[in-house]
């Protein structure tokens, strides 16, 4: 798609047809504990059970499927904190395309190993995403590889938006959706799908309270640089790009409110998911639960928390769930 093409609902419908044979329709389950806690029906969308362990495979497959034959021959390159790289590596391997993932040195080893296991090359550059971005840009310009943004790409956003179509079919009465927020590809795709089908539905973006780039950019009224910090929700770290083409404006248009959760609250979300919902989630996959557990926003109707991923270091997860709450 052209770089500045506007995201349409039709793009999401088309994306679902493209990716349907490669992804699973993840289940929605009722959360008794959360429902009783807030006094409203709360459901969980278990995208942590998706192939590769996160939603990212949806956007990756759709983006690669829309490349020209020449672009496929040259290969793809991306910047990733882990899950986008894993999804893109899976999609590239599926279609026999060369794939290079550029990452900062802060990305957890388990995510690096997961990407390599899927056949992609990994380049670790610097201590933040901006430094890794420079290498990704170089490969795109000098080697002719197609750069696929983890979020600021219409095909990627449309692929993530297929989650919204699933959610609507599974819970047509839904009134509030709590969605993890990082660069905005996930929340913008889901919001576009859900609001096209039900304009009254409210979308709540959830980020960690340290280095939340999209949240701070929305407050500032423009994309800004936000210092990247280590977080349990490492998949939500990183900037949105000062030249953001799509997700800044889409977030401004489609997201109704924002909440931030602390590291302690994210840990509580991981703990709750395991002991009360029988789910393994990474930090980013726990933020929606964390926001409800800590009454960060009070919905007054049927609500959904999206569990977006499960790719967490096993030892870290064991330590978090072993702590008494």
In this prediction, residue 104 carries a pLDDT of 86
What mean pLDDT do residues 269-280 have? 98
Domain positions in the chain: 9-54+153-322, 57-147
Q: What share of the chain is helix, strand, coil (3-state, %, to 5)?
A: 50, 15, 35
Write out the CATH class of domain 57-147: alpha beta
In this prediction, residue 1 carries a pLDDT of 42
Least confident of 58-72, 81-95, 267-281: 81-95
> Under CATH, what is the fold of the domain 9-54+153-322?
Rossmann fold (3.40.50)
| 67 DSSP 8-state letter | S
Q: How many alpha carbons fall within 13 Å on the CB side of residue 183?
A: 28
What confidence tens digit (pLDDT) does each residue in 203-236 have? Answer: 999 999 999 999 999 999 999 999 888 899 988 9
What mean pLDDT do residues 136-163 have? 96
What mean pLDDT do residues 137-141 have? 93
What separation in angstroms does the CA of 13 have from each of 53, 159, 247?
23, 9, 19
Helix (H, G, I), strand (E, B) or coil at 189: helix
- pLDDT surpasses 60 at 279: yes
Closest of 63, 58, 51 to residue 19, by C-alpha: 58
- pLDDT surpasses 50 at 242: yes
Task: Measure the CA–CA gap between 291 and 270, rounded to whole angstroms.
Answer: 12
What mean pLDDT do residues 13-19 have? 98
Task: Measure the CA–CA gap between 225 and 113, rounded to whole angstroms.
Answer: 29
Task: Measure the CA–CA gap between 45 and 264, rounded to whole angstroms.
Answer: 23
Q: Do domains 9-54+153-322 and 57-147 have the same CATH topology?
A: yes
Task: Measure the CA–CA gap between 13 and 138, rounded to whole angstroms.
Answer: 34
Task: Give Cα 250 to chain centroid, integer Å.
Answer: 15
Closest of 59, 50, 303 to residue 184, by C-alpha: 59
Least confident of 68-77, 160-169, 250-259, 315-324: 315-324
What separation in angstroms does the CA of 115 have from each of 52, 54, 112?
9, 13, 5
- pLDDT surpasses 80 at 324: no
What confidence tens digit (pLDDT) does each residue in 82-91 have? Answer: 889 999 999 9
The CA-based diameter of the chain, rounded to the nearest angstrom, is: 56
- pLDDT surpasses 70 at 177: yes
CB 303 within 8 A of CB 43: yes
In this prediction, residue 2 carries a pLDDT of 44
Task: Give Cα 102 to chain centroid, integer Å.
Answer: 17
**CB atoms closer than 10 angstroms to residue 65:** 17
What confidence tens digit (pLDDT) does each residue in 243-262 have? Answer: 999 999 999 999 999 999 99
Least confident of 51-60, 102-111, 226-235: 102-111
In this prediction, residue 108 carries a pLDDT of 79
- pLDDT surpasses 70 at 3: no
Burial track 242-279 (b if 16+ CB lie within 10 A, e otherwise)? eebbbbbebbeebbeebbbbebebbbbbbbbbbeebeb
Q: What percent of the chain shows pLDDT beyond 70?
A: 98
Per DSSP, the residues of 276-317 read HH-----HHHHHHHHHHHTTSS--SS-EEEEE-B----HHHH
Task: Measure the CA–CA gap between 89 and 113, rounded to whole angstroms.
Answer: 12
Strand partners, 303: 42, 176
């Amino acid at each position: 798609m052209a770089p500045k093409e506007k995201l349409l609902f039709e793009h999401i419908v088309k994306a679902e047809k493209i990716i349907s044979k490669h992804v699973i329709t993840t289940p929605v389950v009722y959360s008794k504990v959360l429902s009783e806690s807030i006094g409203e029906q709360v459901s969980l969308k278990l995208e942590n059970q998706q192939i590769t362990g996160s939603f990212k495979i949806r956007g990756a497959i759709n983006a690669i499927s829309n490349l020209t034959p020449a672009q496929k021959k040259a290969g793809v390159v991306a910047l990733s904190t882990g899950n986008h790289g894993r999804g893109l590596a899976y999609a590239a391997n599926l279609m026999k395309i060369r794939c290079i993932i550029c990452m900062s040195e802060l990305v957890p080893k388990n995510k690096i190993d997961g990407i390599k296991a899927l056949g992609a090359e990994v380049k670790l550059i610097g201590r933040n995403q901006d430094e890794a971005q420079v290498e990704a840009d170089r490969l795109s310009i000098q080697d002719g590889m197609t750069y696929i943004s983890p979020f600021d790409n219409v095909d990627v956003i449309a692929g993530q938006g297929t989650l919204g179509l699933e959610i609507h079919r599974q819970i047509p009465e839904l009134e509030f959706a709590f969605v993890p927020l990082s660069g905005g590809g996930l929340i913008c795709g889901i919001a576009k799908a859900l609001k096209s089908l039900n304009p009254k539905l409210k979308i709540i973006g959830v980020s960690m309270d340290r280095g939340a780039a999209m949240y701070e950019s929305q407050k500032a009224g423009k994309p800004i640089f936000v210092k990247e910090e280590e977080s349990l929700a490492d998949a939500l770290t990183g900037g949105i790009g000062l030249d953001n083409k799509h997700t800044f404006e889409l977030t401004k248009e489609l997201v109704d409110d924002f909440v931030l959760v602390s590291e302690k609250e994210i840990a509580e979300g991981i703990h709750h998911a395991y002991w009360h919902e029988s789910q393994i989630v990474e930090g980013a996959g726990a933020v929606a639960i964390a926001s409800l557990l800590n009454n960060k926003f009070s919905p007054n109707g049927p609500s959904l928390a999206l569990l977006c991923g499960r790719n967490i270091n096993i030892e870290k997860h064991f330590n978090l769930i072993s702590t008494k709450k």
